């Protein structure tokens, strides 16, 4: 590790005296969280938890007229999870990004390596920046930049055993290809996305557990995103369909649609409202088709409430209808947001007390408050508070109690020094 850092500092000295550009920066992001009903309703006898996590990064960037590279090393931990005395082998710094991008010919470049992938509002592809570990992909990306932008990404994964073609590794796909096309007009931004996501399924012998067959089941997600602005008014919408097969080989037939309207009242206030609907599976007389839409690689914390009850580490299940209204206040280095969400299920929830009868589709209401202050160019402080008012229908799909207070609060500092 010391040799790598020494080499990169040597590169910095050389490139400072050439036409190439080299930068060295860091990120230190501790976040303390109070949790009593985060992701699921709190139980009657549940005690609140208080913990601090931290992301620490060092970023190496290099660029000249032929080549662009980036290396991001990071460490993600909970305070107290590591002993005070620790050897080099006990905990390891991981590689979050490690890619190179080269110009092939006019308007075409190739970017290969471990990289973040995010487009538009990050509903389908996002870098998951809220979670401390974030998200990156091992893949290649062919990019065309002209009057129209087009990106073609492709990946093919193997596990630790490269003597066969089985992949039972930690990632969400064995093979993946996507095409993103974007066109910007005067005040209109239009994008199309097609994603072919392949998960490996393994059939084993019921007695010996030996592998009998391996197959890749592909699902397709395709749709469009549009943004338009006119004066102080803005509109954003997207619609996606999912088909093919899910990871179990079941037929997939799902959809998502969203609309967001915003208006800038004055230099201080702005308002926004809208909805999102994601299809789900009924719990009453279900058929053999998976109708549950999955945002796959999206930055899901940005949608459907900050308490992450939906699509953040939890199955989508009965789908969701999210109707929201919010206001933002911005003044100088200070900003604050207050948003209310009214959640309903998009498919029937079975009443366990009366099987075959559907519960009310209304799941509950969540209020999210967030504020931030930029101390200077290097330091930002943010804090937030959220509370969920869940119903018996929410209890049926997320457990817990409707009587207990389900709330969550956090405080985060982000330090981003530029060393070189």
Question: 230-272: per-residue pLDDT in tens?
Answer: 989 999 999 999 999 987 888 999 999 999 999 999 999 999 9
Instruction: Specify the pLDDT at position 211.
Output: 72
Q: Whole-prediction pTM value? A: 0.90
Q: Is residue 213 scored above 80 in pLDDT?
A: no
Instruction: Specify the pLDDT at position 11.
Output: 52
Instruction: Specify the pLDDT at position 170.
Output: 57
Instruction: Specify the pLDDT at position 31.
Output: 98
Instruction: Specify the pLDDT at position 231.
Output: 87
**Geometric angle at alpha carbon 349, from 324 and 406, rounded to 5°:** 50
- Between β-strands 108-115 and 94-105, what pairing exists: parallel, antiparallel or unpaired? antiparallel
**Geometric angle at alpha carbon 341, from 220 and 274, rounded to 5°:** 65
pLDDT in tens, 277-323: 999 999 999 999 999 999 999 999 999 999 999 998 766 689 999 99
Expressed in angstroms, the distance from the first to the final Cα of the chain is 19
pLDDT in tens, 64-115: 988 999 999 999 999 998 888 777 665 678 999 999 999 998 899 999 999 9
Q: For residues 197, 200, 201 and 205, what is the CA-based torsion angle, rounded to 10 degrees?
A: 170
Kindly state the average pLDDT of the residues 167-180: 81
**With 0-12 CB in 10 A as exposed, 13-18 as middle and 19+ as buried, what is 26?**
middle
Q: Are 37 and 407 in contact (CB under 8 A)?
A: yes
Q: Is residue 375 scored above 90 in pLDDT?
A: yes
Q: Is residue 377 scored above 90 in pLDDT?
A: yes
Closest CA to 289 of 355, 244, 347: 244
Does residue 190 or residue 213 have the better pLDDT? 190
Kindly state the average pLDDT of the residues 369-378: 96
Instruction: Specify the pLDDT at position 144.
Output: 97
Q: Measuring CA to CA, how many Å separate 329 from each of 262, 264, 301, 305, 338?
A: 13, 10, 21, 19, 9
What domains are defined for the chain? Answer: 2-415 (2.40.160.100)
Mean pLDDT computed over every residue of the chain: 91
Instruction: Specify the pLDDT at position 22.
Output: 93
Q: H helices within 129-272, ranges in order?
A: none
């Amino acid at each position: 590790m010391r040799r790598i850092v020494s080499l990169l500092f040597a590169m910095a000295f050389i490139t400072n005296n050439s036409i190439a550009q080299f930068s060295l920066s860091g990120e230190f992001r501790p976040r303390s969280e109070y949790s009593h009903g985060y992701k699921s309703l709190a139980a009657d006898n549940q005690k609140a938890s208080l913990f601090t996590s931290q992301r620490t990064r060092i970023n190496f960037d290099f660029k000249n007229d032929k080549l662009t590279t980036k290396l991001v090393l990071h460490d993600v931990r909970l305070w107290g999870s590591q002993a005070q005395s620790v050897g080099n082998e006990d905990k390891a710094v991981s590689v979050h990004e490690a890619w190179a991008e080269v110009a092939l010919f006019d308007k075409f470049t190739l970017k290969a390596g471990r990289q973040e992938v995010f487009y538009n509002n990050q509903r389908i592809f996002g870098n998951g920046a809220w979670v401390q570990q974030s998200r990156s992909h091992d893949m290649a990306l062919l990019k065309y930049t002209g009057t129209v932008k087009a990106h073609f990404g492709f990946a093919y994964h193997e596990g630790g055993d490269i003597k066969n073609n089985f992949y039972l590794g930690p990632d969400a796909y064995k093979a993946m290809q996507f095409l993103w096309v974007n066109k910007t007009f005067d005040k209109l931004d239009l994008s199309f996305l097609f994603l072919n996501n392949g998960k490996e399924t393994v059939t084993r012998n019921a007695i010996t557990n030996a592998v009998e067959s391996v197959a890749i089941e592909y699902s397709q997600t395709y749709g469009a995103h549009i943004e338009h602005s006119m004066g102080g008014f803005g509109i954003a919408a997207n619609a996606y369909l999912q088909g093919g097969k899910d990871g179990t080989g079941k037929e997939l037939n799902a959809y998502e649609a969203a609309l967001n309207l915003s208006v800038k009242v004055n230099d201080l206030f702005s308002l926004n409202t809208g909805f999102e609907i994601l299809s789900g599976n009924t719990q009453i007389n279900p058929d053999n088709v998976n109708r549950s839409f999955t945002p796959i690689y999206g930055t899901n914390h940005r949608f459907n409430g900050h308490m992450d009850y939906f699509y953040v580490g939890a199955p989508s299940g009965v789908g969701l209808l999210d109707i929201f209204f919010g206001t933002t206040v911005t003044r100088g280095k200070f900003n604050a947001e207050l948003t209310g969400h009214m959640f309903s299920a998009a498919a029937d929830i079975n009443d366990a007390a009366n099987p075959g009868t559907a519960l009310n589709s209304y799941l509950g209401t969540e209020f999210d408050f967030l504020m931030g202050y930029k101390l200077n160019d290097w330091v930002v402080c943010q804090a937030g508070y959220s509370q969920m008012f869940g119903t018996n229908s929410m209890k049926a799909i997320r457990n817990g109690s409707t009587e207990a207070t389900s709330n969550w609060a956090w405080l985060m500092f982000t330090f981003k020094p530029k060393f070189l």
